[in-house]
Amino acid sequence: MSPSEQSSPSEQVEKKIYLPRTSQSENLKKIRHTTSHVMAMAVQKLFPKAQVTIGPWIENGFYYDFDSPEAFTDKDLKAIKKEMDKIINRKLPVVREEISREEAERRIKEINEPYKLEILADIKEEPITIYHLGDDWWDLCAGPHVENTKELNPKAIDLESVAGAYWRGDETKAQLQRIYGTAWENPEQLTEYKRRKEEALRRDHRKLGKELGLFIFSDLVGPGLPLWTPKGTLLRSILEEFLKQEQIKRGYQPVITPHIGRVDLFKTSGHWQKYKEDLFPMMAENEEAANHEQGFVLKAMNCPFHIQIYKSELRSYRELPIRLAEFGTVYRFEQSGELGGLTRVRGFTQDDAHIFVTPEQLDSEFLNVVDLILSVIKTLKLDQNFKARLSFRDPTSDKYIGSDEAWDKAESAIRRAVETLGMDHFEGIGEAAFYGPKLDFIVRDALEREWQLGTVQVDYNLPERFDLEYVAEDGSRKRPVMIHRAPFGSLERLIGILIEEYAGDFPLWLAPVQARLLPVSEVQLDFAKEVVAKMRAIGIRAEVDTSGDRLGKLIRNAEKEKIPIMAVIGAKEVETNSLSIRTRANGELGTIPVDEVLDKIKESIKNFENF
């Protein structure tokens, strides 16, 4: 944080409003679900031709989708909110009623709501439940709701925006209008939510990424496919190099694999059967091959490729663990409506590695991987607020492969690891990969949002499907266990998170440009270039501002671009072979000899500290 962004003493003692630890507490669910019904009732009062579809609570609020011949405007949202206030102040009871399917169908037809008929057809349980707001309005719903609208606080509710949405999320179906809103327990929480929302806009990585010149998107290239500028590429390279050096210390071996592979490879792994809708369409050499699903697809995951490298020769127990690592770019066919800046893209790079171990090595190697992930989180300054999720299978689901025995062994290994380390953890049933359970690291950022970053998975199933072996000490052939791991996860998502976490103000070691020299006039330009050359020679990413602008503008531009170190060079600095240092982290440091500046910058970078 720069000095100008630090809070004043009066702000520091100001009462802080805390939002609920989770914005999906049971009470908030009831408030938001009921408020969505109140909104739908208000809309149909003001726009009688509008038909309702679905209206759930969501993270931080609620929405309702409407089929209306009139396009809703911002002015309409204000009118709808006023009508909602009137409904709430009527203190209407919220009444649950159970009816038969036939009665539900009769009532729906009576009010001519065709979307509700489709929703009714999807409800398998009986009796059918509906919720009434007083005697005036009702909808199909399973709840939960508050008991009376008097439990809602109009001053803790706001309507936020209107967006387009397709019925059932299907682009071939009717286009609807979705009204988003937010609802809280009290006005103070709404105020705090709005403050955080404004702060999120200030930190938005899409905005900052453009302002700082890190990446762009092109309609001609396609959505979800970021293009990295020189500065953004530097940022990626710094992160990659940091992790590569850590991996080398820990015995990882780098590999490179293709961007496409045969469908048969993914059939063997099970990805084709379990993951097909997320793969880019197959490329077949002819119609016959296409009919037999024989062709190539863009790589959506790296593990089957690394398995082929392991299997290329017979391995001995003496070689294990074998740790194969790759910054592998993968491609997944995300729906266009789900894309979002760098955090949800169609082409992204994983810091992937696959470790092949004997069963006896599993526990110690798993702990080594966790140690690496914790080290990464700490270096990135994300270790202040994180927790571990044990992502296990849902025994009632059929989306998983492999035997119960294999799953039990894998899940037990993860439990042993977190218990050995004494880690704060919780279980996420149904969050496992289809081939094995995971330990996911969930990080809470500066805006209290949660992100999954690093992950480590135990896999007994892919070694079985690919018939992997190693020669054991007694000469027999045995099956290795695989560990899948990615400390960063997606490099794109990580950078998006870091941009927002740091508000674009990267720590010195990570900043694409670490130092900018600001010559007061052209007379000092040659000296500035000599100093930059010395900086670059010892690995400092430095540049000279050669624009010729006045010093005030040079400083403002560097501040705007969030350059960590600015070095002003005037006649005095040239004469004394020194630099007048100004930093974002610690403000003005005064005039310092060049060699001392270089030594201090180098030491700060080495220790992941600001100058």
Tens digits of per-residue pLDDT, 225-235? 999 999 999 99
- Please, how many CA atoms are within 13 Å of residue 6, restricted to the half-sphere of its CB? 9
C-alpha–C-alpha distance, residues 489 and 427, integer Å: 20
Query: What is the band of 447 on the pLDDT scale with cuts at 50, 70, 90?
Result: confident
Q: Which residues are identified as catalytic?
A: 303, 332, 350, 352, 354, 438, 484
pLDDT of 60 > 90? The answer is no
pLDDT computed for residue 11 by the predictor:
30
pLDDT of residue 518: 96
Shared-domain flag, residues 544 and 468: no
Q: How confident is the model at residue 288 (pLDDT cuts 50, 70, 90)?
A: low
Tokens of 441: 């690291």
Residue 19 pLDDT class (50, 70, 90 cuts): low
Q: What pLDDT is stored for residue 7 in this prediction?
A: 32
Whether omega before 144 lies within 30 degrees of 0, making that bond cis, reads yes
Each residue's pLDDT tens digit, 245-287:
999 999 999 999 999 999 999 999 988 888 788 888 877 777 7
232 is in which domain, residue-wise? 215-259+299-495
**How high is the mean pLDDT of the chain?**
89
Look at residue 470 and tell me if it is in a domain: yes
Q: Answer whether residue 436 is part of any domain.
A: yes
pLDDT tier, 16 (very low <50, low <70, confident <90, very high otherwise): very low
CB neighbours of 315 closer than 8 A, spacing ≥ 6?
Answer: 322, 356, 469, 470, 471, 480
From 159, 179, 203, the end of a domain falls on 203
For residue 527, the domain's CATH number is: 3.40.50.800
Segment 468-482, tens digit of pLDDT: 999 999 999 999 999
| C-alpha to C-alpha distances, 106 to 17, 67, 141, nearest whole angstrom | 48, 21, 16
Count of Cβ atoms closer than 10 Å to residue 557 Cβ: 16
Percent of the chain with pLDDT over 90: 66
Beta-carbon contacts of 113 under 8 Å, excluding residues fewer than 6 positions away, are 51, 52
Residue with tokens 């040239």, as numbered in its chain? 574
How far out from the chain centre does Cα 382 lie? Answer: 14
Assess whether 136 and 238 both reside in one domain. no
Instruction: Look at strands 347-357 and 322-331 and give their pairing.
Output: antiparallel
Q: Residue 354: which CATH number?
A: 3.30.930.10
Side chain identity at residue 89, one-letter code: N
280 falls within a domain: no
| The two three-digit tokens of residue 305, written as one number | 């490729």
Asked if 226 contacts 342 with a C-beta cutoff of 8 angstroms, the reply is yes
Q: Is the pLDDT of residue 156 over 80?
A: yes
- CA distances for 115 relative to 42, 80, 111, 143, angstroms: 18, 22, 11, 19
Residue 248 lies in a domain: yes
Of 178, 203, 228, which marks where a domain is finished?
A: 203
| SS3 at position 531 | helix
> Per-residue pLDDT tens for 486-542?
999 899 999 999 999 999 999 999 999 999 999 999 999 999 999 999 999 999 999
Looking at the chain, the whole-number percentage of residues with pLDDT higher than 70 is: 95
442, part of any domain: yes
The pLDDT of 122-148, averaged and rounded, is 90
The answer as to whether 325 is a domain residue is: yes
Which range (22-36, 367-381, 591-605) has the least confidence? Answer: 22-36
From the list 126, 141, 36, the residue with the least C-alpha distance to 96 is 141
185 and 325: one domain? no
Q: Which position has the higher pLDDT, 445 or 372?
A: 372
* 362/409 same-domain check: yes
Confidence tier at 20 by pLDDT (50, 70, 90): low
Last residue of a domain, one of 495, 529, 551: 495
Higher pLDDT, 337 or 190: 190
Judged against a pLDDT cut of 60, whether residue 22 lies above it is answered with no
Q: Confirm whether 145 is domain-assigned.
A: yes
Highest mean pLDDT of the ranges 77-81, 191-195, 445-449, 488-492: 77-81
Count structural domains, the chain.
3
91 pLDDT higher than 50: yes
Phi/psi for 489 (5° steps) reads: 80, -125
Query: Is residue 481 located within the same domain as residue 588?
Result: no
Looking at the fold, whether 193 and 97 belong to one and the same domain comes out as yes
- Do 178 and 225 belong to one domain? no
Q: Tell me, what CATH number does 141's domain have?
A: 3.30.980.10
Terminal-residue alpha carbon distance, the chain? 13
2 pLDDT more than 70: no
The answer to whether residues 484 and 561 belong to one domain is no
Residues 437 and 578 in one domain: no
What's the number of CA atoms in the CB half-sphere (13 Å) around residue 311? 16
Do residues 434 and 476 share a domain? yes
Q: What is the pLDDT of residue 15?
A: 40
Residues 358 and 410 in one domain: yes
**Cα distance between residue 343 and residue 405, in whole Å:** 36
State how far the Cα of 587 lies from the Cα of 611, in Å rounded to an integer: 10
Q: Is the residue at 63 inside a domain?
A: yes
Q: Looking at 64-68, 222-226, 431-435, 564-568, which range is the least confident one?
A: 431-435
- 456 and 552 together in one domain: no
How far is C-alpha 431 from the geometric centre of its chain's CA atoms? 16
How would you write 446-502 as a 3-class SS string?
CCCCEEEEEEEEEECHHHHHCCCCEECCCCCEECCEEEEEECCCEHHHHHHHHHHHH
Q: Given pLDDT bands bounded at 50, 70 and 90, which one contains residue 291?
A: low
Residue-wise pLDDT for 167-219, tens only, equals 887 778 889 999 999 999 999 999 999 998 898 889 999 999 999 999 999 99
The tens digit of pLDDT for each residue in 547-560 reads 989 999 999 999 99
Question: Which pLDDT belongs to residue 124?
Answer: 84
* 495 vs 25 pLDDT, higher one: 495
